[in-house]
């Protein structure tokens, strides 16, 4: 912890590799992150008491390939990076940060390495306990709540000044627990698309005054030297997009937009879900290591499903699925659209998209990249024929298969017949005043039949596959079940 506080630990940002440290060292690193944010002081407890809590949390994690204490620490590290390096801390209260990092540390506690689909299909005790709803997330919430009570973690929080924390002093304990629970539950992939819509909606609200310079000025207090300042979220007073990037990067982060309690709660959910999805947007060596571990856990579940005569979950049959297909489809369909929206809301988060693009180039060669980008062009059929049968098995993640088989390119038709228009993600329009993407005002207007307006990052064969996994229920948008849930 002392080395972390003294900034003597290398690579604790995007390059943080949890496997380079022993568990006692990870305890200290997590404690150091909390201490640098003064979260133990916010709670009115000693650092030794917070350390006891961290150690107990580690004991609650199972020895799984992926959903382990190492994953929890990695998520906390990404959250810390977003709070500090990306400046998100300025938009949250100290107690929000407490809830966010505790939720990050505990979000998968008790996860047995067998996802919600398995729990429901196997009719486990946990599935019965939580009525098949967000089974593992609810279980993690209960375990987290028990540990908070055991360590009396919030016992002194009512004694701390809370006028700027956004909580009622008489109900701070309950409010913190509720925020932690809601934030953990939002990591269930069943709510991924709903969270994406909410994030866009909050972005719209934050930018609602872009057409009024007066409203913009009123929303931006003067900086310490008396001049107006800006933030990655606030509307830009610039009329040209040419200097947007330098404008955002040259100014210090200041708390210019005051978010209400509901907006801060949503931001906590968005941040934790982003950190939970961040494996594919990390530097390649780290991303590849996490990919190896998640696929190992997937295949272990698939083996058990076969053994118990249960339906084998998508991407979990080691005889059918391949790591490259899993990584590419998850990155294209889930991760990229989410981080595009996140970067539209928080400009510095573009670093994640840049890394995702770099990783994709490592996985597949340039000529294949060009082919995928041209799938919908008039030359699509000729390209498919010219590349038919070529193998890319020499690449680190690619299976020994043809280019058509890798990405589900089949037949001679460019049509997406059979895809429900509801899953065609909204397009974005450029706002010259902001220099960042902004969605149309009406969500219903954005689910369109126009192929040219659909995001090129979406793999519509993957949409079909995921659609087939829906359970019963009228609100299908919130019932998306991905293999990683």
DSSP states along 330-371: IIIIIIHHHHHHHHHHSGGGHHHHHHHHHHHHHHS-HHHHHH
> Roughly how many angstroms between the first and final C-alpha of the chain, as a whole number?
32
Can you give the pLDDT at residue 257? 56
Instruction: Give pLDDT tens digits for 243-267.
Output: 333 333 333 333 445 788 999 999 9
Q: Which of 98, 59, 60 is nearest to 80 (CA)?
A: 98
Task: Identify which has the larger pLDDT, 241 or 58.
Answer: 58
Can you give the pLDDT at residue 377? 57
Does 217 belong to an annotated binding site? no
Does 445 belong to an annotated binding site? no
Which of 153-162, 377-386, 413-422 shows the lowest mean pLDDT across its residues?
413-422
Q: Which of 67, 111, 192, 322 is catalytic?
A: 67
Which of 174-183, 328-337, 354-363, 400-409 shows the lowest mean pLDDT across its residues?
400-409
Q: Which DSSP string do the residues of 3-48 spell out, in sequence order? A: HHHTT--S--STT--GGGS-HHHHHHHHHHHHHHTTHHHHHT--HH
> Which residue is listed with tokens 């959250």?
79
Can you give the pLDDT at residue 325? 87
Which is it for the CA torsion 172, 176, 179, 185, positive or negative?
negative
- pLDDT surpassing 70 at residue 116: yes
- pLDDT surpassing 70 at residue 339: yes
Can you give the pLDDT at residue 258? 79
pTM, entire model: 0.71
Does 276 belong to an annotated binding site? yes
Task: Identify which has the larger pLDDT, 58 or 326.
Answer: 58
Can you give the pLDDT at residue 135? 98
Which of 97-101, 230-234, 286-290, 464-468 shows the lowest mean pLDDT across its residues?
230-234
Can you give the pLDDT at residue 6? 55
Percent of the chain topping pLDDT 70: 60
Does 322 belong to an annotated binding site? no
- pLDDT surpassing 50 at residue 185: yes
3-state secondary structure of 109: coil
- pLDDT surpassing 80 at residue 469: no
95: part of which helix (H) or strand (E)?
Answer: helix 94-106
Task: Please name each of the domains of the chain with its CATH number.
Answer: 2-185 (1.10.1300.10)
Residues found in the chain: 485
Question: Angle at CA 41, nearest 5°, toward 346 and 3?
Answer: 75
Residues 386-404: what's their mean pLDDT? 42
Note whether 94 and 165 are within 8 A (CB): yes
Can you give the pLDDT at residue 58? 99
Q: Is residue 171 flagged as an active site residue?
A: no
- pLDDT surpassing 70 at residue 432: no
Q: Residue 206: CB partners within 8 Å, gap ≥ 6?
A: 233, 234, 235, 257, 345
Instruction: Give pLDDT tens digits for 200-249.
Output: 888 777 666 444 434 434 444 333 333 333 333 333 332 333 333 333 33
């Amino acid at each position: 912890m002392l080395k972390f506080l003294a900034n003597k630990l290398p690579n604790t940002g995007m390059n943080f590799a949890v496997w380079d440290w022993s568990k006692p060292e990870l305890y200290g690193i997590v404690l150091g992150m909390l201490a640098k944010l003064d979260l133990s002081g916010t709670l009115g407890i000693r650092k030794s008491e917070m350390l006891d809590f961290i150690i107990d949390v580690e004991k609650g994690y199972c020895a799984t390939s992926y959903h382990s204490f190492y994953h929890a620490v990695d998520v906390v590290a990404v959250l810390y990076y977003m709070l500090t390096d990306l400046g998100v801390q300025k938009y949250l209260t100290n107690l929000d940060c407490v809830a966010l990092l505790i939720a990050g540390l505990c979000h998968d506690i008790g996860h047995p390495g067998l996802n919600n689909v398995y729990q429901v299909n196997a009719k486990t005790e946990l599935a019965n306990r939580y009525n098949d709803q967000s089974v593992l997330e609810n279980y993690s919430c209960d375990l987290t709540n028990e540990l908070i009570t055991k360590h009396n973690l919030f016992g002194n929080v009512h004694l701390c000044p809370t006028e700027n924390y956004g909580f009622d002093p008489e109900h701070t304990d309950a409010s913190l627990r509720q925020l932690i629970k809601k934030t953990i539950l939002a990591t269930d992939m069943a709510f991924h698309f709903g969270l994406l819509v909410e994030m866009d909606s909050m972005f719209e609200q934050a930018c609602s005054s872009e057409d009024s310079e007066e409203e913009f000025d009123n929303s931006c207090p003067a900086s310490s030297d008396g001049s107006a300042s800006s933030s990655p979220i606030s509307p830009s007073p610039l009329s040209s997009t040419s200097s947007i990037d330098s404008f955002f990067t040259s100014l210090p982060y200041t708390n210019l937009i005051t978010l209400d309690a509901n907006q801060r709660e949503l931001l906590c959910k968005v941040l934790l879900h982003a950190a939970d999805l961040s494996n594919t947007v990390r530097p390649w060596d780290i991303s590849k290591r996490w990919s190896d571990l998640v696929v190992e856990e997937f295949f272990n579940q698939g083996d058990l499903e076969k053994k118990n005569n249960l339906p084998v979950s998508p991407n979990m049959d080691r005889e059918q699925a391949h790591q490259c297909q899993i990584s590419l489809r998850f990155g294209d369909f889930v991760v990229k659209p989410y981080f595009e929206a996140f970067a539209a809301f928080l400009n510095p988060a573009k670093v994640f998209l840049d890394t995702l693009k770099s990783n994709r180039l490592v996985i597949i060669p340039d000529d294949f990249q060009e082919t995928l980008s041209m799938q919908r062009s008039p030359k699509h059929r000729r390209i498919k024929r010219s590349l038919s049968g070529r193998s890319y098995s020499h690449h680190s993640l690619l299976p020994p298969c043809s280019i058509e088989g890798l990405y589900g390119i089949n037949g001679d038709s460019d049509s997406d017949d059979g895809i429900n228009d509801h899953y065609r993600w909204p397009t974005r329009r450029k706002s010259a005043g902001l220099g960042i993407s902004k969605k149309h005002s009406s969500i219903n207007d954005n689910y369109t039949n126009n192929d040219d307006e659909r995001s090129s990052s979406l793999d519509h064969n993957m949409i079909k596959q995921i659609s087939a996994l829906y359970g019963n229920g009228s609100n299908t948008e919130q019932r998306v079940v991905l293999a990683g849930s």
